[in-house]
Structure 1
Amino acid sequence: MSDENEKFDRRSVLRGMGTAAMSVSFFGTATAASARDADADETDPFHDFAADVSTDVDDPTRTELVGRYADAESLKAAFRDDADPILQTLADEGVLESATLSAFEFGEVREEDLLVPTDAASGAGVTAIEHADRGVSAHLMATTASEDHRVALYRQPELDNTYAKVETDDGGFYVHDVGDGVTISADCGWERVYCSSSICQTGDPPSCTEQQRYCCYGPNYETKDCTDTRYVCSCTCDDI
C-alpha cells in the first residue's frame, strides 16, 4: 500500500484502543475477552489517553516535576484533590473497604520506580510523563493489596487525569475518571493503525477501511503486546 493511501502519525498508529467504555454495572467483566468483542467503532477513554503518552521526559523537567511530590504529604494531597470518584467506585464494588486512601502506603516515596499492582510492590512513587497534546506532568503512583485484589492508583496532577488498575486471579482492568463519569476498560483492545483509501461505504463524507490491531497496555502506559489485525469500515476518507 502506497504512502498516498495511508495516513501515518503517532496518533493514528497508537490512538484509541477500540474497547467500548463499560459501565460500572459490568465492573467484574472488563476482561481481555470482553474487550476483544467490543464495538470497534468506539474508543476507550483510558486507552485513548494512553496512546499519546511517553515516559521520555527531559532530565531538568523530570527533576522539577518529581520534586513537587517527593514527600509523602505532597503526594497524598495530590491524590486527595481528584481521586474520590475512583475510590468510591472501588469501594462500591468491594475492591476497597472504604472510599479513602487509608489502604495505600505513603510512608516512603520511590522516585523513578514504575509501580504496578502486585503483592510485592506496595507503596508510593513518582516519576514523569509527557502527553502529545497536553504536555508534561508528574506521574503519581500508590499501590495496595488484599486477599482478592491488587490495586494501583495513578494520577497526573498537571493533566488532571486519574485512574486505577485492578488485578484479580481472573485478570485485570482499569477504572478511569474521564471527568463526566467513571469508565471501566480491559487491559487489551483494538487500536487504530491507519485509514486506507478503499471506500467501504458511500456518503458525505464516505467511509473508508481502517486497519486495527489488538494491543495491550501496562498501567504505566507500556505497550505489552500486539496480536490480531482486522479491517473495519469506521474511518472517514477525509482522514487520509
Structure 2
Amino acid sequence: MPESPTAPALFPVTVDVVALTVRNDTLNVLLITRLIDPFRGMLALPGGFVLAGEDLPTAASRELAEETGVERIPGHLEQLASYGPKGRDPRGDVLTVAHLLLAPDFPVLSAGSDAERADWYPVDKVLDGGLQLAFDHRRIFEDALERAKSKLEYSPLGAAFCGEEFTIAQLRGVYEAVWGTRLDPRNFHRKATGTPGFLEDTGRITAGDAGRPAALFRLVEAARPAAGQPGRVVLNPPLMRPRD
C-alpha cells in the first residue's frame, strides 16, 4: 500500500531588512537593539513576523516603520534571499525572507515595537567583529553587502544612495564607500558619464569643493524608479570595482 504524502511543515515566516546608506563618506547599516528575548539587548536587523494576508514587501515596510519610525521608505527595496527555517532561531523553525534597501541618508525617527533603539552603524564595525548581531543576521548582512557591491557594477543603483540630482563627485563617493576603495576621479567621471543608459546632465551646476562649480546629473528616464525598476537596467559596459 503506498505511503500517504507527507504533511507540509508549518512554521512562521519573518522578514528582515538590510538597509544601507552612506553617511559622512562611510557605508552604514540600520540596526536595532532588541527589547525582548531571544537575544535581548543585542543588535539585529529590523524585521519581524509576516502577518496573515500580508505580502512580503508590505511586511518589510511595516516592520521598518514599527521599529525605526520610517513611514515612507526611500531608495530601492528588493528581495535578497531566504534563510532557514531550521537552526536560525532558538524558539524553533522560522523561515526569514531578507530584503536589501539602498537609500539616501535618512533620519531614524524613533524605535518601537520590539526595538529598544534604532540607529545607523558603520558597516566596518560589523565586518571587523566590533558589533555582534543576533540570530544569523551576520550572514544575512554579509550576503546583502556583497549584493550591493555587485549591483553597483551592473546597474544604476549607485544613484539610489543619492538624491534626485547629484554631482559625479557625490556619486563617486557612494561607489568608494560601498566598495571600500578609492577611485581615480577622472577615470570614474569618464566611465560614469560615458556609460549608455546611466546618467544625464541636468544643465544645472552647484558649488563644489573649494567653491568650484560642479555639474548636476540625474538618472536617465528609463533608469528612474518612476519609469520602472532600476535594478533591471543593465549598464553596458559595467563599472567594474577594483580587484585586489
TM-score by length of 1: 0.21
More strand by proportion, 1 or 2?
A: 1
Which of the pair is proportionally richer in helix? Answer: 2
Which one has a bigger Cα radius of gyration? 2
TM-score calculated relative to the size of structure 2: 0.21
